[in-house]
Chain A
Amino acid sequence: MENLNLFIRSIFIDNMIFAYFLGMCSFLAVSKNVKTAFGLGIAVTFMLIVSLPVNYLLDTYVLQPGALAWLGEEYASVDLSFLALIMFIAVIASMTQLVEMVVEKFSPSLYASLGIFLPLIAVNCAILGCSLFMQQRDFGSAWTATVYGAGSGIGWLLAIVGIAAIREKLAYSNIPKPLRGIGIAFIITGLMGIAFMSFLGIKL
């Protein structure tokens, strides 16, 4: 039950895009048509599901103060938490490489349409950010961390598909010249953010 709550919370209330603005660069750059946006959303969700449990285990059994106690008495006082950033990013970068190879093998068309953005997932802040939030929140188990990752990923997917659909329709509207392109995309994201704020009142 608790995991279900966390799942719904991370999709709607703590939405990666609208509440924390994570992964904004690719969100704005790849949201010109729904199909590509959907592909990128799936890739991000998948990366989150894969990388969060790994980072969770790394954090619990290697990095936290006293986490190395399983190695023996003399390691119990070791605190490696300052290394968290570099370890997380290394895990994410290597996982991205892996996902890239899998996608290239099984879905060449998706691979071609994602293009440069697949390797750039490594530097998508949504993924590193999710790992850092996971570290701050002290989840109880790797399973909870996975649920959190899946929820955040689906929230991100929802947001990017939503804005891509709006931007497709926007091609037909008459926007003031200086706002065309990126300006109006910002405003729409802001309005969508306000809409998502209506979920804030929900108590789970």
Chain B
Amino acid sequence: MLSKKNKGILFNPLSKNNPVVVQVLGICSVLAVTAKLEPALVMGISVIAVLAFSNVIISLIRNTIPNNIRIIVQLVVVAALVIIVDQILKAYTYEVSKALSVFIGLIITNCILMGRLEAFALSNKPWPAFLDGVGNGLGYAIILVIVGFFRELLGSGSLMGCKVIPQSFYDMGYMDNGLMILPPMALITVACIIWVQRSRDKDLQEK
């Protein structure tokens, strides 16, 4: 079930081959949904689900897809899964679904999905494809959660909607940094993550 190779497929995307900070895929949603931790978490879970199942489906039918129309087939499979996720979110977590607005729909055009389908699912068996989907989804979710954590903590002094910075800090003159909530700081937070990761892992540095 979990041979050495499969372990690599599952865990490599978490750091060495992270879809967001190393392959630079799926940036749009990382930046847009991370002003608060909760939507970031929901988004991460949705992407893991869609990625894992679309990988399995495409891998199952990989031998029957004609090469010319594979992009359309992939889009249809992904779009169907995203519609299911969208409807589930609307039914059970309406508030979060409102906060995510169009970005759940935009999972369809998330480059991580197309990238993994093209690069992995089209040439591998369903079980490794499933692991690859879960691994890459997790790699994506981790970055989302890190960025969401810092932006919500520094930007509104709370985590998952609960105040964590004690009132005494505010009395002493501490202020929430409103800039962290604004879109540009998301980019700079991701840049800092890249900076930290690449200074620890010299192989990833660009010439």
Contact = CB atoms under 8 A, between A and B. Distances in A.
A25 B19 CA distance: 12
Contact of A93 (B75, B106, B183, B196): B75
Interface string B115-151: 0000000000000000000000000000000000000
Interface string B100-115: 0110011011110010
Contacts, number: 134
A interface, over-half SS: helix
B82 A85 contact: yes
A interface, size bucket: 35 or more
Interface stretch (B22-30, B53-61, B159-167): B22-30
B184 A18 contact: yes
A186 B147 CA distance: 14
B65 interface: no
Interface in A185-201: 186-187, 189-191, 193-194, 197
Contacts of A54: none
B83 to A, nearest CB: 6
A143 interface: no
B183 A124 contact: no
B187 A193 contact: yes
A19 interface: yes
B175 interface: no
B177 interface: no
Closest 7 CB pairs of A and B: A193-B184, A181-B206, A190-B187, A178-B198, A186-B191, A132-B102, A24-B27
Interface in A150-195: 176-184, 186-187, 189-191, 193-194
